[in-house]
Structure 1
Amino acid sequence: MPTKKQVAVSFLGTVLDSAFGQGRWQKWRPNVAMNQRDDFHLDRMELFYSEKFLRLAERVRDDIVHLRPETEVNLVPMELENPWDFSEVYTKLHDWSAAYPFDTETENYFTHITTGTHVAQICLFLLVESRRIPSVLLQTSPPKKQQRSMGQGDVGGLDVIDLDLARYDVLAERLAAVRDDAVRYLKSGIATNNQAFNRMIAEIEQVALHSPSPILLSGPTGAGKSMLARRIYELKKARHLISGRFVDVNCATLRGDGAASALFGHKKGAFTGAADKREGWLKTADKGVLFLDEIGELGLDEQAMLLKAIEEKHFYPVGSDVEVSSEFQLIAGTNRDLRREVRAGRFREDLFARINLWQYTLPALRDRREDIAPNIDHQLAVAAQELGRATRFNKEAYAVYLDFALSNQALWRGNFRDLAASIMRLATLAPQGRIGTDLVRAEIGRLNYLWTEDAFSDGRDTDRPSETGLQEIFENKGLDWNGLDLFDRLQLESVAAECRKHKNTAAAGRALFGVSREHRTTPNDSDRLRKYLARFGLAWADIVP
């Protein structure tokens, strides 16, 4: 295996590196001394300098090349109006690191923090710790005796630094700000207000940056699993944690003999029609991320092959007796309850255990109604980009649309896909880029029509058992259905029908007590609903299969 190149990133030391006469060889100059060592060599240096110190930068470069002709020294202009301004220095270095073509497959990086202002050293530390610069930290120190001849004597110390973040409150605060940037990125820059969702995304950011293990994203269709998977990939790629591609595969489209070939590849002639060799999606995702959406649709044979590939990082293409290796991170998506699929024998228990280390359920749009308004703004921005023109609501039209979007009348069965499609229709039809109330009322009518007699499962498992009538439930529990007043029976049937539209007691309670809850200091919709059902000897699980 070829040896990786050694690359250092460093600031020109305007004081420590400064010297021009022959006496400069008797002075310890950090960036030059690095290249005088017998136990450390560099293939390339990226040396930041200010234009007013160009002559000094060129002298340091020439001296390094004189000592080590094989070392390439790139002078990198870094103009700072105030080198002690934290914001300016961090921004300039951040922008440089974002544009720099890091290649961790073929190069090792060292960030030298001896030269430059203390602010520059702190900023470099932050960028390394947050993986914006994928390197280790280096600190050099002067020799005990300054007087020596070129290339002889003590050239000073060189150490890899492992700092304890807990000792540096300011650094910890700045690092937290970097993490906040990553969380906003995972949320596509949308200022979401749902606290449970925000906590989940914050944890996903930590997992994405620190764990190569599989991630399982569950939730109803249209909740954003595919978009979040791609954002996780882009975040890892930006931090140089992966170098490969993002491969998005919908397992629902993989059927029969072609499923194994599509995933694991095949050799030429493996089966009828296999005229050429095929790599397969797992190999295509090597050193990247493989997103298997609707993983519950995979057959049991493909599940067994996938488990081996995840655990051993190699597998056999169809018809081949030669193993293929692939280092990919798996993100799986599903709108099914895989626990139920395991019990039914449709999903392997060992594979479920392997991909369930990090499991996150993305809530339906109806369970994040406080996030509808910022998502409307986001979808307007998306529509403007696609249509090439900005579109805005009139004030009255926006109030009408938002009131409907937040109401129980808005089912949002397709979740964010429904919302995105709705905003795109409004933006496309808006004259002169202004959405008026007539257009909004027409769109509300269209949405209500789309949701009428809807064939979808409302975000829940389509394979669930049929809903049992209340009379049968009462009889199965040994309760007297006919002993209830007609009023109670009718009311209870209406309550049960509403409950079956929602995933949990909290959502159902909000819908059922939407008016009276506004007059309570501490509304507890779940508790009110449970107590109502308990009056008749029922629990939530009795009426919502």
Structure 2
Amino acid sequence: MALNVVIGIVGSVLDNRGKGYKRWDAWRPSVSVCMQADFPVARFELLHQPGDVKLAKEVATDIASVSPHTEVVLHAVEFVDPWDFEEVYSKLLDFSLGYRFDTDNEQYFLHITTGTHVAQICWFLLCEANYVPAQLLQSSPKKMPEHGNASIQFIDLDLSRYDAISSRFQRQNLEGEAFLKSGIETRNAAFNEMIQEIERVVIRSKAPLLLTGPTGAGKSQLAKRIYQLKHRRQQVKGEFVAVNCATLRGDNAMSTLFGHVRGAFTGAHQARKGLLAKADKGLLFLDEIGELGLDEQAMLLHAIEEKNFFPVGADSAVHSDFQLIAGTNKDLRLEVKSGHFRDDLLARINLWSYALPGLKDRREDIEPNIDYELQQLEAENNHKISFNKLARERYLKFALSSEAEWTGNFRDLNASIQRMATLADGGRINEALVDAEIRQLKANWRDVTRTSRLPNLGDYLDDEVLKTMDLFDQLQLAQVLAICQQCSSLSEAGRMLFNCSRLQKTSSNDSHRVRQYLAKFGLDAKSIRP
């Protein structure tokens, strides 16, 4: 049978009533909880202010006299201002996170009768959010108290038991890994392991994070969820500030990031704060950080290390203590070699680096992401949106096949679901809509492939070799190289290049066929990297 464990705060007034033997004639909440014949308390975790240690020891002694089997554990927790909500919540959260709950063998009860009203509210929030896996416990004196006799009541916070409340306030309490994934039940094992590590890192560290991966892989969404997780845990107090560095050029880049003083340059009629200052005590997300100029990179490095910087035209520094998350779809090590990115800045932001795979590398996660997109649209439009059975099967078959290129990654998927949902009469997506959408996606991807810049063969072959190649062979090789460079492996490139002929074979080795083709020109997987 599970042991009863009570957690509470020493009441500096209610637990301090009566002197000497007369204290037994008064109702003292913490002691009375342990005097219930039908509620044996195995342990009482009693928090107290450092200045109330004498009172806390007296309460512990009295509990021992009326309930010898109860172990009292005292915890000194200092509240500089017991009526400061932020401070009290933070201290109680720290206690909760540091306490080792054993829910298999113990059941927990939060005694909310003592402590300030602020503490009671904080206990309620921590319990409701499951930081403290407990029931709320309220004690009160009986109408005719005898020898400290009192009654206790248990408050049930399980809203799912109350239909009227549950139907009105349905919600998902997401935390940690599930929170960072927006509650999507992703199936890709490598991705799930990466998210689990990111969750541990962002809770325990304020160091910069570098998120890499193709456009549309979800870097911006993940950065925002990281901020929300840290904000919920009281680890950041400031704003989430996001900027796409690809949109910053020249004086505008410096001014946008670092601000400027009035008259700093032509057109600077008013002073500007700048995004780094706005992110003070918050989180700054610099997407496409590889697009920043070298001057901006130097100032950013100084701001990260020194927590201050000079706005354009300013004589005095501005302080800003922010956490940085950087995103890029470039290989910053190659950018360093080419002189376009500072090696010292890369070293500073590369302590924690995570590569987000594109959608085509996480095809097993397409189905749960479809369900997520539908749920989002349902919430926005206030009505149910779904596929019929055959339409869902047809769309999934295409989405999981090599025909689906997903060049825009999750942005492609989001746009695709939105188009079908908008055109679905009665919120029901049928086969005709799916067929039309598949044609739309294929056309979009053909346009992208057609307009993509083909690699320069001169970067891979000697001039003498190129002179002996027909234009036909040059164009074919350039297209093959472009597809190989878009794919994460030669196997994936082979599946795309031999999408029809591979189906005629009982067994296919797509990567081997690509290697054979490249070998004709003296090339291999390593030599064709962009």
Indicate the TM-score class for this superposition, using the shorter chain for normalisation. Answer: 0.5 to 0.7
Aligned to 2:231: 237
Q: Percent identity?
A: 49
TM-score, reference length from structure 1: 0.65
Q: Could you tell me how far 1:469 is from its partner in structure 2?
A: 10
What corresponds to 1:34 in structure 2?
A: 48
1-structure distance, mates of 2:517, 2:387: 42
Of 116, 119, 122, which residue of structure 1 is paired with 2:107?
Answer: 119
User: C-alpha separation between the residues in 1 aligned to 2:247 and 2:330?
Assistant: 16
Matched, 1:421 2:421: no
Matched, 1:254 2:248: yes
Q: 503, 508, 516: which is aligned to 2:493?
A: 508
Residues 1:41 and 1:243: Cα distance change in structure 2 (over 3 Å) = farther
Q: Distance in 2 between matches of 1:340 and 1:469?
A: 15
Alignment check: 8 A CA contact 1:266 1:317 kept: yes
Question: What are the ranges of 5 or more consecutive residues in structure 2 without an aligned counterpart?
Answer: 1-5, 32-43, 57-79, 112-121, 133-172
Q: CA deviation at 1:210?
A: 1.3
Normalising by structure 2, we get a TM-score of 0.67
Q: CA deviation at 1:201?
A: 1.1
Alpha-carbon distance in 1 for matches of 2:411, 2:225: 17
In the alignment, which of 77, 86, 103 is matched to residue 102 of structure 1?
86
Native 8 Å contact 1:132 1:239 kept in 2:
no
Is residue 2:289 matched to residue 1:295? yes
Give per-residue Cα distances to partners, 1:375-409, cap 9 Å, x unaligned: 11111111222222211111111111111111222
Structure 2 counterpart of 1:438, which letter? A
The number of residue pairs the alignment matches comes to 423
Distance 1:71 1:307 in 2: 38
Q: Report the counterpart of residue 330 of structure 1 in structure 2.
A: 324
For residues 517 and 102 of structure 1, what CA distance do their matches in structure 2 show? 67
> After the TM superposition, which residues 296-311 of structure 1 pair with which residues of structure 2 at under 5 Å, given as runs?
296-311=290-305
Q: CA separation of 1:24/1:342 partners in 2, compared to 1, >3 Å: closer, same or farther? A: farther
Equivalent residue of 2:267, what SS?
coil
Tell me whether 1:339 sits opposite 2:323 in the alignment.
Answer: no
Cα gap change, 1:132/1:393 in structure 2, threshold over 3 Å: closer, same or farther?
closer
1:205 to 199, 205, 208: 199
Cα separation, 2, equivalents of 1:397 and 1:346: 48
What secondary structure, in the 3-state scheme, does the structure 1 residue paired with 2:426 have? helix
Answer yes or no: is the 8 Å Cα contact 1:104–1:240 preserved in 2.
no
Which residue type is aligned with residue 320 of structure 1? A
> How is 1:15-414 mapped onto 2 (pairs within 5 angstroms)?
22=19, 23=21, 25=23, 34=48, 37=51, 102-103=86-87, 111=95, 118-120=106-108, 181-414=175-408
Structure 1 stretches lacking a partner, 5+ long: 1-8, 43-69, 74-99, 135-178
Counterparts of 2:474 and 2:264, CA distance in 1: 64
Evaluate the alpha carbon distance shift between residue 542 and residue 20 of structure 1 in structure 2; reply closer, same or farther with a 3 A threshold. closer
Q: 1:390 to 1:275 in 2, by over 3 A?
A: same
- 1:407-452: per-residue Cα shift (whole Å, max 9, x none)? 2222211111011001001001100111111111111111122222
User: Is the 1:288–1:328 Cα contact (8 Å) retained in structure 2?
Assistant: yes
Q: Deviations over 1:235-290 (max 9, x none)?
A: 11112111111001111121211211111112233223333332211111111100
SS of the residue 2:369 aligns to: helix
Distance change in 2, residues 1:392/1:264 (3 Å) = same
Cα distance change on mapping 1:72 and 1:245 into 2, 3 Å: closer
1:180 Cα shift?
Answer: 9.4
The CA distance in 1 between the partners of 2:55 and 2:514, in whole Å, is 71
SS in 2 for 1:330: strand
> In the alignment, is residue 452 of structure 1 matched against residue 418 of structure 2?
no
Structure 1 residues 36 and 296, CA gap change in structure 2 (3 angstroms): closer
1:25 to partner: Cα distance: 4.7
Q: Structure 2: how far apart are the matches of 1:373 and 1:32?
A: 49
Equivalent pair of 1:317/1:323 in contact (CA under 8 Å): yes
475 and 200 in structure 1: CA distance in 2 versus 1, 3 angstrom threshold: farther
Deviation for aligned residue 1:312: 0.8
Aligned twin of 1:466: 456
The correspondence of residues 477-516 of structure 1 with structure 2, limited to 5 A, is 498-511=483-496, 515=502
